[in-house]
Amino acid sequence: MAAANAPIAMKEVLTLPSIGISPQFITFTNVTMESDKYICVRETAPQNSVVIIDMNMPMQPLRRPITADSALMNPNSRILALKAQLPGTTQDHLQIFNIEMKAKMKSHQMPEQVVFWKWISPKLLGLVTQTSVYHWSIEGDSEPVKMFERTANLVNNQIINYKCDPSEKWLVLIGIAPGAPEKPQLVKGNMQLFSVDQQRSQALEAHAASFAQFKVPGNENPSILISFATKSFNAGQITSKLHVIELGAQPGKPSFSKKQADLFFPPDFQDDFPVAMQISHKYGLIFVITKLGLLFVYDLETASAVYRNRISPDPIFLTSEASAAGGFYAINRRGQVLLATVNEATIVPFVSGQLNNLELAVNLAKRGNLPGAENLVVQRFQELFAQTKYKEAAELAAESPQGILRTPDTVAKFQSVPVQAGQTPPLLQYFGTLLTRGKLNAFESLELSRLVVNQNKKNLLENWLAEDKLECSEELGDLVKTVDNDLALKIYIKARATPKVVAAFAERREFDKILIYSKQVGYTPDYLFLLQTILRTDPQGAVNFALMMSQMEGGCPVDYNTITDLFLQRNLIREATAFLLDVLKPNLPEHAFLQTKVLEINLVTFPNVADAILANGMFTHYDRPRIAQLCEKAGLFVRALQHYTELPDIKRVIVNTHAIEPQSLVEFFGTLSREWALECMKDLLLVNLRGNLQIIVQVAKEYCEQLGVDACIKLFEQFKSYEGLYFFLGSYLSSSEDPDIHFKYIEAAAKTGQIKEVERVTRESNFYDAEKTKNFLMEAKLPDARPLINVCDRFGFVPDLTHYLYTNNMLRYIEGYVQKVNPGNAPLVVGQLLDDECPEDFIKGLILSVRSLLPVEPLVEECEKRNRLRLLTQFLEHLVSEGSQDVHVHNALGKIIIDSNNNPEHFLTTNPYYDSRVVGKYCEKRDPTLAVVAYRRGQCDDELINVTNKNSLFKLQARYVVERMDGDLWEKVLNPENEYRRQLIDQVVSTALPESKSPEQVSATVKAFMTADLPHELIELLEKIVLQNSAFSGNFNLQNLLILTAIKADPSRVMDYINRLDNFDGPAVGEVAVEAQLYEEAFAIFKKFNLNVQAVNVLLDNIRSIDRAVEFAFRVEEDAVWSQVAKAQLREGLVSDAIESFIRADDATQFLDVIRASEDADVYSDLVRYLLMVRQKVKEPKVDSELIYAYAKTDRLGEIEEFILMPNVANLQNVGDRLFDEALYEAAKIIFAFISNWAKLAVTLVRLKQFQGAVDAARKANSAKTWKEVCFACVDAEEFRLAQICGLNVIIQVDDLEEVSEYYQNRGCFNELISLMESGLGLERAHMGIFTELGVLYARYRAEKLMEHIKLFSTRLNIPKLIRACDEQQHWKELTYLYIQYDEFDNAATTVMNHSPEAWDHMQFKDIIVKVASVELYYKAVHFYLQEHPDLINDMLNVLALRVDHTRVVDIMRKVQFWWK
């Protein structure tokens, strides 16, 4: 059947490879298609990614780098579900992403592996595990819900589909399993049907299934159907069936009878089976798709076969419903995405003609509104009408495909039927049937409405219109208008009868709806007429209508001025104002006239309205001078001021302060320039100073920055208004730092009697001129002295204040100041009172009234300056009696006691509170010894030193310094720059130190002398202490110090001290002596303390006498001493002596140095003795290795053989390499033979000229490198037989072949090399390189054998390399042959023509020339033959006739002929 006439149309929508999908990913596990919207492909190479294909734009796939085991796109929206197995577990991690929002919606970790999953609805995912089935909603935070467990028939099945019905009450799970043993290629299908309501499962055999809804006649509720297809093998027979059954039949209602049909598989498809089923709800058809691409189409209602055909040559593994097209999508293994749809033009004729199933054809046409059954339907209608089966005829007409019977003729036909008494008229039956089926057309709606209107059943019309059963028209509206205007308006609107709708709104006075409706439908009514009509009856409505017109797109259809005039003609001022205020909101320049107009009419009639409009500030383009005059007349002075622009006008208006709100007037001043503002302020003060002062002050406060503070002050001063100045500056004071401003404020406050404010400002302000303010307040003589007290206290005028208060007899303020304001300044007050000769009783009383609050130090200072310190005796004693520990109190009391000579020593030694430095200073001129007592008590070092130096009290100074034990003090007094140092040292040595019994004091003194670098004085002191049987004679530290000092200052005494003293630190002192280069003394110290190692080190390192060291070592016989001697001998190069000493010391630690020195000195015999000793102590590879080497150097080969046979840890490989490198080949041979290093043995034997042994060793080594070395050595020795044996093992290595060849050739061994290569041809591992190299050698040295070699081995040659060799050696014949073999015919032809004497052969050249690629060579060949072989030119031209341009050949011939002539 031609594809155009087929009932099912197939179309290739897309091929997945065309958009970059690799064929390896076009499988059931990688591709998903949940609906006709998206295809999802999971890729794992070159990287993990998911490809989302939108079927609306399939050539623009979306590829995202996502790793997952499976990916599903939501059927409706861009939501992606991903599944991935958690590593190391059998659990799956599920995630749902919103691609558009780029956000994760939810995720869940399944406790078991999900083997299959699918979107069963846009909001629900079905999850199938090995044992159960779950549903997971994408809404909320819900987790998967278990629906049912899998039945036994699905065990070990591959799940291929899972579906649910639209109500989600019925679920079906489908799997496949291997077929029966007798028919294994036929896959078995299993199905599990589950009822959610009954919670029951039924196991069936089926390969594919799907749900559908079908409306059974007589049952208003649709029935749920399931259709499933199965193909099974039983008793040797294959059975293929399609079943359609109803699920959950409704009791008492007509039900769907079970249907079944056979699936007819062609003989070639016996092993094929259904893989998918899709149901077209649009046409009521069942599509069964098989794996091998067969399509079966069945009618859902009758299960009748409609069509069968193969739609894909490749296996189909995935299908999806194409709901909009009424078909389905299918994807095959090739990656084709096929769309199957119903061919609406041919399916009904196909069913009625090809299948001869008229009933099915009519049902299909009615069900899908398809063409092709018109004649059948009309014929059937006439038959029913003739049989008076009007109900059936009405139903047929209502369901007629494409409405072929829904005509006026049909209505007329039913109208013509006479009505039987007691029966429903056929026409009403017809209309009733139409209403139950759907919507009536315009003619049917008009006819039915006419019947209803005649019967006065308006409510039926309302119901039908509400249910959208009638098609509205203007005629229907006219009909209904006779009974109901509202209903008619609805019909007019639905019928888009615009003039009728506008007329209806006008009749109902719903003018606002006219504008809305007109805009919606694009109709333009007469707006001016409508406005005038509304204005007569509803002014406010007219305003609203006018405003609605002003908001219309494209602008108001009526001029604003015209609309305003309409309102004003009827004296509707408020309405006109409301309209204009609304439309003039944009404040456009072109509305200036209207802005002026609205203000004028309101200033004349309603000034308050105009004031509100102006206050709103919504207009800026009106006539301002005109409005200013009107505002002044209306008494709106503020508005007039805002609009006048001339100073005389402003002055005239501004004096009306009684009618102007002060705040508005203040704000107006902010709009004036500085000069105008000051002029206006001056006028206001001239007119009414008292009445306008407050306003002027407020203006000055508000705009002081613009007007200038100085100008404002000048204005107030001009009118001598201190009150104004006070109020103005009071507001400005907090933000000003100008001293003059602050002073003027204080002055104004004082003159206006604001004493409290004066007191506050003087107390808080930091910016007034203190001197100027003080003088002003003293001159003003205010009754309250607190402002003056504030100024003087803050700025240090306390003496002036005290003098002023005392002279003005204001003693009460003096007491108040000292007691309450600032007791800290009482000393200044007392000092000034003393200067003013105030009575002492008043001063004492004043001091005692403050007592502990009084600062003592400045008070004492003030009294001491005036020599009135005794005045404070009672006050100080009172403080001490109260337990005061104040240092200043006790300092002052001490000074009084010292002056009165009242046992001052007792006070200085017992009082713990006075300041020693202050009191000592006070005593210096009165009694220096008292000063020393005070300074000693306070450890005032500098002061004590100064006073004792000044008064030559060095004995006291020496005793103090020794007792003090302070390093810094000692450093100071022993400083060379101290001119009194000698006197102090004498007193320390003669008096202070002998008197001391404290070791610490002695130690500190000695340390100080050392630090001061006074060694001679220190020695003298120490000898007196240590050597003269004092208490410190046996002191360890002092003995050490004496010797060390002598080492530093007088080395000649050191040996005597060493012999006389015993209790000193021998090791430490000995090291110091070494550092001081007193080596004999150091040796004596170490020997005295039996420190033999240190002693011998002095002999070796310092005295440098090895002989004395050896003698000393023989005397003490200590291993450590011999070891030191041995090291020294080794350093001096006395290797044999050193080895002897190391053996005596039994010291094996320095074996590395001994080995190195022995090798340098070539004393290997001694080294053998030493290493044998060392081997008894340590097991070191170095020792054993060096012993072998020493044996080799002394030619003791037998001992080498014996040694390596014994247990040892020598690194024989390294030893052998070393012997080899130093040409000790016999010893190396022993080592290499012992360790079986055949490669090195072979090389060693080569050095020994033992070539046969070398070849044997190389054979054991079997190393290309070894073979090559032996080969080259044999060539050099002209042992060509042995060289060939080695060479054959080398040339089988491609990388080494060229090196061998060059080696032979460089030495002129051409024949031997050729012989080697010829022998290599017969090797089992002979490679192309050998054949090629031999050919190159033939080309260079034996040209007669070259051609034969090339012809014999052309397939085993590296032809390009041999071509280069032949070209270099000019073997043109062989070169031509190689070019032919290499298919380089252009080069072959060129070579023949360039070197024709050697290379040209006519038959060969003809074969070459027809195979060349360059056309130019044809013409070169013609020219060549014309030049060299003209007799054969015809034969050549016959070959080239079809390949050359004959005209060009003729030209060549002519030129040649011309040349001949």
pLDDT tens per residue, range 153-184: 999 899 999 999 999 999 999 999 988 877 87
Please tell me whether residue 1282 adopts helix, strand or coil conformation: helix
> How do residues 761-780 score in pLDDT, each as one tens digit?
888 888 888 888 888 878 87
> Helix, strand, coil % (nearest 5) of the chain?
60, 15, 30
Burial 201-224 (b: 16+ CB within 10 A, else e): beebbbbbbbbbebebeebeeebb
pLDDT at 1 over 50: no
Question: What pLDDT does residue 115 have?
Answer: 94
Query: What is the overall mean pLDDT for the chain?
Result: 80
Task: Give the tokens for residue 504.
Answer: 């209806």
Find the largest Cα–Cα distance for the chain.
170
Least confident of 40-54, 262-276, 572-586, 971-985: 572-586
pLDDT at 1460 over 50: no
Please tell me whether residue 806 adopts helix, strand or coil conformation: helix
pLDDT at 1103 over 60: yes
Question: What pLDDT does residue 656 have?
Answer: 72
Identify which of 795, 755, 756 has the alpha carbon closest to the alpha carbon of residue 775. 795
Mean pLDDT on 1007-1027: 68
Identify which of 345, 284, 329 has the alpha carbon closest to the alpha carbon of residue 7. 345
Angle at CA of residue 265, ends 261 and 271, nearest 5°: 120
- Where in 26-102 does DSSP place strands (E)? 31-32, 38-43, 49-54, 62-64, 70-73, 79-85, 92-98
Identify which of 241, 359, 344 has the alpha carbon closest to the alpha carbon of residue 301. 359
Contact 262, 274 (CB under 8 A): no
Mean pLDDT on 579-584: 74
> How do residues 523-533 score in pLDDT, each as one tens digit?
666 666 666 66
- How many angstroms separate the CA atoms of 1277 and 1246, rounded? 10
pLDDT at 1055 over 80: no
> How do residues 1117-1157 score in pLDDT, each as one tens digit?
777 777 777 777 777 777 777 777 777 777 777 777 777 87
Question: What pLDDT does residue 145 have?
Answer: 94
Say what the pTM is: 0.41
Question: What pLDDT does residue 1458 have?
Answer: 39
Question: What pLDDT does residue 1459 have?
Answer: 39
- How many angstroms separate the CA atoms of 109 and 112, rounded? 9
Amino acid type, 208: A
- How many angstroms separate the CA atoms of 50 and 651, rounded? 85
Instruction: Give whole-number Cα distances, 661 to 666, 668, 1025, 1029, 1410, in Å.
Output: 9, 11, 109, 115, 120
Question: What pLDDT does residue 804 have?
Answer: 81
pLDDT at 889 over 70: yes
pLDDT at 286 over 90: yes
> How do residues 968-1015 score in pLDDT, each as one tens digit?
878 887 888 888 878 877 777 667 666 767 667 767 767 777 777 766
Q: Percent of the chain at pLDDT above 70?
A: 86
Burial class (CB in 10 A: 0-12, 13-18, 19+), 639: buried
Question: What pLDDT does residue 373 have?
Answer: 62
Mean pLDDT on 1249-1265: 80
Contact 805, 814 (CB under 8 A): yes
Please tell me whether residue 174 adopts helix, strand or coil conformation: strand
pLDDT band at 1158 (very low <50, low <70, confident <90, very high): confident
pLDDT band at 134 (very low <50, low <70, confident <90, very high): very high
Decide the pairing of beta strands 294-299 and 305-310: antiparallel
Mean pLDDT on 1005-1032: 66
Question: What pLDDT does residue 1206 have?
Answer: 81
Please tell me whether residue 133 adopts helix, strand or coil conformation: strand
Identify which of 462, 464, 515 has the alpha carbon closest to the alpha carbon of residue 489. 462
pLDDT band at 378 (very low <50, low <70, confident <90, very high): low
Question: What pLDDT does residue 277 have?
Answer: 95
Do you find a cis peptide bond into 7, omega within 30 degrees of 0? no
Burial class (CB in 10 A: 0-12, 13-18, 19+), 925: exposed
Better-scored residue on pLDDT, 394 or 894: 894
- How many angstroms separate the CA atoms of 1313 and 1300, rounded? 9
Contact 731, 696 (CB under 8 A): no
Task: Give the tokens for residue 1236.
Answer: 């079986």
Task: Give the tokens for residue 77.
Answer: 């929206």
Q: Where are the alpha helices (DSSP H) in 752-825?
A: 755-764, 770-780, 786-795, 798-807, 811-816
Question: What pLDDT does residue 534 have?
Answer: 67
Contact 548, 530 (CB under 8 A): no
Decide the pairing of beta strands 237-247 and 158-164: unpaired
- How many angstroms separate the CA atoms of 1157 and 1151, rounded? 10
**Which residues, other chains included, contact 123 with Cβ-Cβ below 8 Å and sequence gap of 6+?**
137, 138, 139
Task: Give the tokens for residue 1286.
Answer: 């080695």
- How many angstroms separate the CA atoms of 42 and 1353, rounded? 54
Which letter does DSSP use for residue 990 in this model? I
Amino acid type, 1035: N
> How do residues 396-442 score in pLDDT, each as one tens digit?
666 667 667 667 766 766 666 777 666 667 766 666 666 666 777 77
pLDDT at 252 over 60: yes
